[in-house]
A and B are shown apart, each in its own frame.
Chain A
């Protein structure tokens, strides 16, 4: 007989084991799907998860792809830990890119060491400003931050469209929707010749360290966790709830804004309509897969990043439809949420009774 028993307390071991279980189940289900649609499952999984990072270039591309995901997910973990559902990181990324791109365009003919710091700062401020909208509306007008932050994503994309089509479009660009290229001084330095991995990775690593310190070594981090568990308790303890909400949104917005800066001043080098292939939304999966823990988020961002690279390789070498990458991302989240069941319940095997 199999019995399902409620746990007295959520299991801590299971808490960190379920992401691994989810990844394992995703691989099994993925292999099965490959088999069903007519591909050799092991070969397909090899092209999906091993071939893309088998050389130095591939590995650097993995880091390049994981950098914005990690940065945004770290920011989101501040919000999610304290029960603030910021779904609009994509918008904060876009707005950060707009502000920093605007500043970079002002300096398009100039060179100088001072340009890049201003451009980076502008991106962080842009993301913070944009994140402050749902935060302020939530604290002072009691609006639902999920809806507001999500809707603002579309607003930010329309603002970007407007700017690159109209006032900011490259005067020598035949009215195509893109800006001028930024000057070299406004670009993040490349770390190795011939690879695209850029200094933005240090921003992500700094965010990881800072978030770990804040979560586990400061009173502020403790307050955030308490508010996450129970707002009433937090109030009873005398924590300033409104300030907390605004603070976590600002941190989250700054991280997303910086991710935007990393894209446009790193590999892209200009503003156009597609600065991000929905990093802001994918980072939500990354944050949960990483269990909102800084180290977990590093691993999660690498795993999700490889689903993008793997989808390309699998299509080039095996003609597997590229959209299977998204299927993998969806499956990871699905299996993670499903296996969370084990956090609260345990399965007991008992002997057969006669």
Chain B
């Protein structure tokens, strides 16, 4: 009798415990704040793919799209924090100050800010992807596939993230083809199909037969398709928008990180972190390679991908020289994260000046 009582008591305790854990886990609500429309097929689209992965993992999610980085961001964040969300992902650099400000007022809500560097409160984490690893792969392909030795590159804003990409791309291209030149056009936008198209056309007119982009719309690959030159997809697999032109795409794969962080909130194991993941952690993904690429190039790309993932190869391995010919990274050394984070000089082989 006594025994039965204890057994049933224990089992009901266990049952209750699992019930509460399950209930807590399922009750966590995540919110996502987007800079653009979810249908941009670039930056925001990929974050929304990540959000859907969180939904698929059994959590409730909310999103707000097209939130300007003006005074409005703070209101949206406060509203989300106030309406029962446990973790809020703010997916654009310009949300940095509002994120930290609202985080101070809501210490029980976790905040995850993409691409920023401020973690002023213990409930703020930052995360970003090592896109430059993907760009090293694009550079290898571009250097091999170009015939004119002129590669066009549509850039958004002269910030370290973009400069780093241009450099990584150019260094990798030079490794397979020392004669290449990278021509840059600054579009001063992240998403503006009109401006991006103009930039791509200008580069093609200047003899570029491959166009790389660090802006988010599908306009550039479509221009490339029409002009009969090659291009690379940005953020998402853009192959379906320009099947002939797109050789491959660098995809931003946020899903695994988002699921991991939301689960951490559910389990109570969330803590402040600064995450910078690359190909190895699966945050940067290379899409299928186009059949226009010769098989030895495809093999080379696959190997580089594996080496970047394992850390055997670093995209910034010396000797690296800047435009003036001064040494940036000594032979045999690799650039450290501090240098990468603040990179504001072009490497040798990039044409033009960084707009100041």
**What's the least CB distance linking B40 to chain A, in Å?**
12
From A274, A276, A323, give the contact of B37 (CB < 8 A): A323
Chain A residues within 8 Å of B31, by CB: 316
Check B157 against A165 for contact (C-beta < 8 Å): yes
**What's the least CB distance linking A64 to chain B, in Å?**
7
Check B94 against A174 for contact (C-beta < 8 Å): no
Check A273 against B69 for contact (C-beta < 8 Å): yes
**What's the least CB distance linking B150 to chain A, in Å?**
26
Q: Interface-forming stretch among A83-91, A218-226, A263-271, A282-290?
A: A263-271
- Interface of B with A (CB < 8 Å)? 31, 37, 62-72, 74-76, 78-80, 83, 93-94, 97, 117, 157-160, 188, 341-342, 344, 355-356
Cα of A269 to Cα of B96 in the assembled complex, Å:
13
Cα of A83 to Cα of B331 in the assembled complex, Å:
69
From A174, A268, A273, A276, give the contact of B160 (CB < 8 A): A174
Check B342 against A174 for contact (C-beta < 8 Å): yes
Q: Which residue of B lies closest to A315 (CB)?
A: B64
Cα of A268 to Cα of B341 in the assembled complex, Å:
25
> Which one of A158, A166, A269, A312 has the highest number of Cβ atoms from chain B below 10 Å of its Cβ?
A312
Q: Say whether A233 faces chain B, with CB atoms less than 8 Å apart.
A: no
Q: Say whether A161 faces chain B, with CB atoms less than 8 Å apart.
A: yes
A-B contact pairs, 11 of them (CB 8 A): A165-B158, A174-B341, A174-B342, A176-B93, A267-B71, A273-B69, A274-B68, A313-B79, A316-B62, A322-B67, A323-B65
**What's the least CB distance linking A325 to chain B, in Å?**
9
Cα of A273 to Cα of B96 in the assembled complex, Å:
13
Check A312 against B79 for contact (C-beta < 8 Å): yes
Flag A297-324 by CB within 8 Å of B: 1 or 0 each: 0000000000011001101110101110
Check A268 against B188 for contact (C-beta < 8 Å): no
Chain A residues within 8 Å of B65, by CB: 315, 321-323
Q: Say whether A76 faces chain B, with CB atoms less than 8 Å apart.
A: no
Check A274 against B157 for contact (C-beta < 8 Å): no
Check A276 against B79 for contact (C-beta < 8 Å): no
Cα of A128 to Cα of B127 in the assembled complex, Å:
43
Q: Which residue of B lies closest to A68 (CB)?
A: B71
Besides A174-B117, A276-B70, 13 new A-B residue pairs in contact (Cβ under 8 A), listed by A number = A165-B158, A166-B355, A196-B74, A272-B69, A273-B69, A273-B94, A316-B76, A316-B83, A317-B83, A319-B62, A322-B65, A322-B66, A322-B67
Chain A residues within 8 Å of B71, by CB: 64, 196, 263, 266-268
Check A268 against B70 for contact (C-beta < 8 Å): yes
From B80, B94, B342, give the contact of A316 (CB < 8 A): B80
**What's the least CB distance linking A281 to chain B, in Å?**
13
Check B72 against A177 for contact (C-beta < 8 Å): no
Check B160 against A161 for contact (C-beta < 8 Å): no
Check B70 against A274 for contact (C-beta < 8 Å): yes
Q: Say whether A275 faces chain B, with CB atoms less than 8 Å apart.
A: yes
From B69, B72, B76, B160, give the contact of A175 (CB < 8 A): B160
Cα of A178 to Cα of B117 in the assembled complex, Å:
13
**What's the least CB distance linking A80 to chain B, in Å?**
25
Which 10 A-B residue pairs are closest in the complex by CB-CB distance?
Answer: A267-B71, A277-B68, A166-B356, A274-B69, A274-B70, A277-B70, A315-B64, A322-B66, A175-B344, A322-B65
